[in-house]
A and B are shown apart, each in its own frame.
Chain A
Amino acid sequence: MSISKSDIKFYLTSATAGVKQTNYTQSIGGYSANVNGNISDSLVYPETTLATDVSLYGESLALSSYTDLSGKTFLSSGFEIIKVDSVSSNSVSVSQRSKNGLKAAHLSGDVVRGLATESIFNDRFDDDLKQYRCLAIKNTNSTYHAYNVDVFLRYNSRNPNSVIRIALEQPRNDYITGSIASGTKTKIIDSSLKGSFDDNHFIDSNLIMTSGSNINQERIILSFDSSTGEIVLDSSLPNSASNGDTFKIEPAPAQRVSSGIVSPTFGSGRVTPLRMADRDNPLQINVTGDRDHGGDLRPNDVIYVWLERRIKDEANSFDENSTVLAINYYTVE
């Protein structure tokens, strides 16, 4: 067994850890908005799976459950966008295959997403006709890794007057789990962390207690002392942390901008420069060269993708434009 494509999920981002994101224009950095325990929250698009195989020219789709896609007239499977009659049941009639010019065959179990033009981007641009969004790519498999991960645009834009560029932002820390040696309501000590990470390596990350009297409590990490393995929380837990209590630390947040027309910082620190990043020149997730988990997305790891859309001055409107964000990885080391 190994990781499968359906384990790689794409989420919106949110200013606050553990809070769902329902507003696309607010997906502008911060935390992956996937709420603890529910992998369906804050997906970029609602999704389901195919119930049967679909050939290159198939004219109908059978969904396993249509509920979350009800009313959608654009679906995607793999890299193909398909125009359909409004979804109202598990049996969906196709009105146009390869809406984005990419043709594909699809198998039972493949992920199907419900798209809409009025979602990811809006009509708000800065003076240079640019706007920005931040998405989180997450490995939701609890066991298997995605190795040597690259991110690229399978194709850029169908509109020659509109250009998409992407940048990757590596979280300061990747996902880890730990066990408490001793603690209070505001501090916990995990001896195994001593000397393993730099001071404040986990700052701003979301810590979630996974056992003990504080189970499911979430707190933001204010500081981390490498010499002692001590983590200071932003507010008190209901009870003192006890020896043997376990916890998990989510990947650190990305930078967050004040609006979608404010440019994030690119090309320094843990953020790559903006690139058109095609298949031959992808972006690699180990941005700094010393990412905790190297070039791998381990279970619950996240990498952030910044999208910049720029339209040319004097361009005409272009409906139903699209791009395809792709992630390439190995299933074995």
Chain B
Amino acid sequence: MPLLSAVKMLMRFSDTSLLDDISGNQFKVKGDDSVISLDSTGIQLKINQYLYMDNISLGVTNNLGIGFWLYSKHPGVTDQNGTPKNMQVSVLDFGIGSFDTVEGDVSITTQVVRIYEEAQVDGTMKLVFSMPSNSFTAKTESYTANKRHYFWIAYNGSTLKIFVDAIDNSISTSGSVPSSISASTVILSINRLSSSGNILNNNGVLDDLIIVNTFVDSALSMQNIVNYSLDMVFNTDYASIQEADLPLLFDDPTPIRINDTFSDGPTVLVARNDGKLLQGSSLVWDVRRDFSNKGEQDVSNVFGSDIGFEDNYLRVKNGIIKL
């Protein structure tokens, strides 16, 4: 699973400022230590690899916000008869636990949050937010795979919302929204196979992951994150900024140059670089210099790659004269 922006992960706590990355903490790789660097913008995990970060002090009790861009790839798994199968696809999870150096794997004693995708048989995907220790699950409506989507999960102890592409999604839930969340010190994993059964590593791309202990659920905030950046919502310097836009639409014409002209009294013959020979009033031409054909008369179906005048004779090269 590629992760862009060098796995830029932003965390914000009530008593700290927004950090561009986790100071003092680094993601570690489970499995083969070598990952593929993507031109310093991110890393690509190999199969069976995941990232983890332990001893993270989230300090979350009642308010939680998780946001990320995800290029969603449908795994396309079928059974032996070619029938598509519903599969879980890992995204991230965090829980109370540690990294077991003997087993060489993250060991979770209390799974606080699991986020995964659910591949549908019709080729779409759904995002699932689960709080296993509270037996609560929320699932989005289907969204299109092979596209980059923005997800925002907002929780405040009584309400759970999932925004997909800035719009409050009509989620289906199982269980009751937990009144609190135990996420004081956790271990965070990305792309870990966090359950047994039909779960696969993610083959998509994760970007701009943010976890905050703030409940953010306004449509305007979602629009600002999606259209602009996280700074527009979480950086106080940007809090009161607005931007108004005016797209302008227009066609660019081919610039017409005049190769040659021949004036014969009241009229002028104009040889253009697009191979056309036109006749018009010299006064109109001199004044208007319009690059359209409007009002000018094509002369006798003469066309050529090079049209001009020599010694008062018409010169046509690589062209035709239709009789």
- Residues of A at the B interface (CB closer than 8 Å) are 2-5, 8, 10, 44-45, 53-58, 74, 76, 78-81, 100, 104-107, 113, 115-121, 123-125, 127, 129, 135, 146, 154, 159, 161-162, 307, 309, 311-332
Q: Interface size on B (CB < 8 Å)?
A: 37
Nearest CB to that of B225 among chain A residues? A105
B250 proximal to A (CB < 8 A): yes
**Cα–Cα distance between A284 and B184 once the two chains are bound (Å):** 46
Also in contact, A119 and B249, with CB within 8 A (given A125-B291, A129-B255, A328-B241): yes
Please name all residues of chain A whose beta carbon is closer than 8 Å to the beta carbon of B219 when the two chains form the complex.
Answer: 53, 107
Also in contact, A321 and B243, with CB within 8 A (given A53-B219, A105-B167, A313-B255): no
Kindly list the 10 A-B residue pairs having the minimum CB-CB distance in the complex, ordered from nearest. A105-B166, A56-B165, A55-B165, A8-B244, A79-B245, A318-B252, A55-B167, A115-B249, A121-B250, A76-B247
Also in contact, A107 and B255, with CB within 8 A (given A44-B246, A124-B290, A323-B247): no
A324 lies within 8 A of B245 (CB):
yes
B249 lies within 8 A of A322 (CB):
yes
State which of B164, B244, B249, B291 has its C-beta within 8 Å of the C-beta of A326: B244
Please name all residues of chain A whose beta carbon is closer than 8 Å to the beta carbon of B254 when the two chains form the complex.
Answer: 315-317
Please name all residues of chain B whose beta carbon is closer than 8 Å to the beta carbon of A159 when the two chains form the complex.
Answer: 252
**Cα–Cα distance between A161 and B254 once the two chains are bound (Å):** 10
B144 lies within 8 A of A5 (CB):
no
**Cα–Cα distance between A103 and B253 once the two chains are bound (Å):** 27
State which of A8, A53, A320, A330 has its C-beta within 8 Å of the C-beta of B249: A320
State which of B244, B255, B289, B290 has its C-beta within 8 Å of the C-beta of A314: B255
B283 proximal to A (CB < 8 A): no
B292 lies within 8 A of A325 (CB):
no
Please name all residues of chain B whose beta carbon is closer than 8 Å to the beta carbon of A313 when the two chains form the complex.
Answer: 255, 257
- Residues of B at the A interface (CB closer than 8 Å) are 143-144, 147, 149-150, 164-168, 219-220, 222-223, 226-227, 240-255, 257, 289-292
* Extra contacts besides A10-B246, A331-B242 (20): CB < 8 Å: A5-B242, A5-B243, A56-B150, A56-B165, A76-B245, A79-B247, A81-B247, A115-B248, A115-B249, A124-B290, A135-B246, A313-B255, A314-B255, A315-B255, A317-B254, A319-B251, A321-B250, A321-B251, A322-B249, A330-B240
**Cα–Cα distance between A55 and B169 once the two chains are bound (Å):** 10
| Interface secondary structure of A, over-half rule | loop
B243 lies within 8 A of A328 (CB):
yes
**Cα–Cα distance between A135 and B249 once the two chains are bound (Å):** 15
State which of B149, B220, B245, B255 has its C-beta within 8 Å of the C-beta of A311: B255
**From residue A171, how far is it (CB to closest CB) to chain B in Å?**
19
**From residue B242, how far is it (CB to closest CB) to chain A in Å?**
6
Please name all residues of chain B whose beta carbon is closer than 8 Å to the beta carbon of A154 when the two chains form the complex.
Answer: 245
Please name all residues of chain B whose beta carbon is closer than 8 Å to the beta carbon of A4 when the two chains form the complex.
Answer: 242
**Cα–Cα distance between A252 and B65 once the two chains are bound (Å):** 49
State which of B147, B245, B250, B255 has its C-beta within 8 Å of the C-beta of A57: B147
**Cα–Cα distance between A74 and B166 once the two chains are bound (Å):** 23
**From residue B8, how far is it (CB to closest CB) to chain A in Å?**
20
A326 lies within 8 A of B245 (CB):
yes
A123 lies within 8 A of B245 (CB):
no
State which of B227, B248, B253 has its C-beta within 8 Å of the C-beta of A123: B253
List 30 A-B pairs, Cβ < 8 Å. A44-B248, A45-B246, A53-B167, A53-B168, A55-B164, A56-B150, A58-B167, A76-B246, A81-B247, A100-B247, A105-B167, A105-B227, A107-B219, A107-B220, A107-B223, A115-B249, A120-B249, A121-B250, A135-B246, A312-B255, A315-B254, A317-B251, A317-B254, A318-B251, A322-B249, A324-B248, A326-B243, A326-B245, A326-B246, A327-B245
Nearest CB to that of B288 among chain A residues? A124
Nearest CB to that of A333 among chain B residues? B240
Please name all residues of chain A whose beta carbon is closer than 8 Å to the beta carbon of B223 when the two chains form the complex.
Answer: 104-107
A325 lies within 8 A of B167 (CB):
no
A105 lies within 8 A of B165 (CB):
yes
**From residue B149, how far is it (CB to closest CB) to chain A in Å?**
7
